[in-house]
Structure 1
């Protein structure tokens, strides 16, 4: 997960990522980024893409998973363009929305940056994206899922996955139909992401919800919440939030004797949850609009060869987001023309068909369930 880049990427994935970009956007005259006649124009050389998200701090794992995918896409592109390489500019937000505006300004001021993968979290997206929109710097988030982000009229906003308006109902459906829960309890962490998602789950579960609670990020003592859950008779708990709070929460619930099913979402699909919750994590259900690693075997093999582990949460989405931008650079796009390139993009990626609607939302959306079994997060299939 925290590995540094050492190995070259297999040609199979290189062909997958760059082979068809000459027809992207409907222009047959656009040169293919990786083809023999598709050398980038001089204007497209010496450029950068940005990675905006938590690379340090309590939520760093999710950012690192994305960054690994981005770096894999860069390896692919640069191997095909050795005389015109693209560099990566990292903007480490630590997942803190208060740091986002200054980092966005840094990216905007670097005129070599022609596109951003991220911001990775919904709160920092809300803070940074107005600045990116004003500057005309395109962003493709591989992981920020708050639905309202697409409702601001930002011309530069694109999302390479489904939002919580899809994930929330899917989580509620799983709780009702698969778990057969009759007494669900819903908790959120008051964040832009966690509360937004939990509120959708609350709405979809309706009158079946036997209790609600709100905790705070960085909280460690969940005694009051545990009391509310156990006294309610809840047979399932949904938590909208991140792994640093989910791990001690489930440990304290189990220590109090609660036997129900803990259901969480993509913000908890992180190795740190397993490490910090230990045996208490067993049986946890995780929903995520992210595809299982084995959906794209060639990408899985390339990633595992480089990082000695399978792709993790949003690694594939990070790869796809970066590939869209890199294909644009290969076709001679600049910061000023990249928005239209992304808007009209329609190619198969490693996670899905990469295409966006008029609000920048992914046109191909799926939500999967995962389960913690024997100390590992394993796929439990798509939630239809």
Structure 2
């Protein structure tokens, strides 16, 4: 009961913050060059292509935040601009420049993925355009001295050890095979897991991500020869599903553990429900169904589907930007300073940013989810170290 009450209070607190600021037309920033209205924020992530499922989850959360804000501020609405990166680092610089060139875009929710964040981050930093990623977890992103980078979730220094601890302490697997997709995210996460598991790692291999590889017989053969009791995959759901499907077809029943890039129902579609059953998926986030207040109901009413991984953190990230705009921070410089000093409750977590734009480590939670009966369901919160 106490936990449920806290969730409701937290949701109300975020709404009150967004609604309680001064009108944008009275802003000091407006006098220094910001527009009174006609302001924009953008979502930057995959909305089409093989990585789209997670991006759509996030964009739908942002849409809800903007929809609610505009209903409460009919005289000074904010426009949401979707920037479809397809999750590709190659497309990210050009897309970032497009956002930078639109001077009415005051802030970015995203980039959603680590590789595209690495590619776009220097441009956003030079332009002074604030970004809050709901999901890019590579630790090195906060080490670039970008003044515009903020992260609304924990990084892989929290998720990697937690995944390793789950394999060691819950699955009690003393032999593990580690695979990654060579992406900034996948390889980094796999490296953190290896550090925890140490000599329990009896083999490792790399595959190609971004839909470039669909046949994994070589890695299946290596896993089978290693006779591992568990498999860890660092990468995204499209390849993870195919790997799990082909492992199962080869008679390999060792459980697959993967990170938040696989934590989506699209993984089950890719693998097939029978092969996916029992897969463990970690995330430096709470279950979206546990979001405070009326978020779940409102999200489903607007989007026609339940919230997925990072829908709630994207909603919170958008609300931080919207709170700043509502408070009159309608220049890029003003909104950046607002985010830097922000502290408040969202539907997914409490937000306060520390050095490098990281979320305060005290607020980071890591959860394990499990595929059961063809659905991804919460399993347990796991220690970060």
TM-score, L = length of structure 2? 0.91
The superposition leaves residues 307-355 of structure 1 with CA deviations (integer Å, 9 ceiling, x where unpaired) of 2332101000100000000000000102111111111100000110011
2:277 pairs with one of 272, 277, 282: 282
Partner-residue secondary structure (3-state), 1:286? strand
- The answer (yes or no) to whether the contact 1:14–1:76 under 8 Å persists in 2 is no
Distance verdict in 2 for CA 1:317–1:339, change over 3 Å: same
1:269 pairs with one of 263, 266, 284: 263
1:40 pairs with one of 24, 41, 46: 24
Q: Distance in 2 between matches of 1:214 and 1:259?
A: 20
The alignment status of 1:310 with 2:310, answered yes or no, reads no
The superposition leaves residues 152-205 of structure 1 with CA deviations (integer Å, 9 ceiling, x where unpaired) of 000000000000010000000000000000111100000000001001111111
- The answer (yes or no) to whether the contact 1:13–1:302 under 8 Å persists in 2 is no
Identify the residue that residue 80 of structure 2 maps to in structure 1: 88
Q: What does 1:302-381 correspond to in 2, within 5 Å?
A: 302-333=298-329, 334-363=331-360, 364-381=363-380
Partner-residue secondary structure (3-state), 1:341? helix
Partner-residue secondary structure (3-state), 1:193? helix
The superposition leaves residues 27-61 of structure 1 with CA deviations (integer Å, 9 ceiling, x where unpaired) of xxxxxx414x8322263411000100001100111
Partner-residue secondary structure (3-state), 2:22? coil
Cα offset, 1:12, TM superposition: 9.7
The alignment status of 1:216 with 2:235, answered yes or no, reads no
Cα offset, 1:295, TM superposition: 1.9
Count how many residue pairs are aligned between Structure 1 and Structure 2.
361
- The answer (yes or no) to whether the contact 2:233–2:259 under 8 Å persists in 1 is yes
- The answer (yes or no) to whether the contact 2:139–2:155 under 8 Å persists in 1 is yes
Q: Distance in 1 between matches of 2:318 and 2:223?
A: 42
TM-score, L = length of structure 1? 0.91
- The answer (yes or no) to whether the contact 1:187–1:215 under 8 Å persists in 2 is yes
Q: Distance in 2 between matches of 1:110 and 1:54?
A: 20
1:293 pairs with one of 267, 288, 292: 288
- The answer (yes or no) to whether the contact 1:18–1:327 under 8 Å persists in 2 is no
The RMSD of aligned alpha carbons is 1.5
The superposition leaves residues 191-221 of structure 1 with CA deviations (integer Å, 9 ceiling, x where unpaired) of 0000010011111110111101011112111
Which consecutive unaligned segments of at least 5 residues does structure 1 have?
Answer: 1-10, 22-32
Identify the residue that residue 175 of structure 1 maps to in structure 2: 167
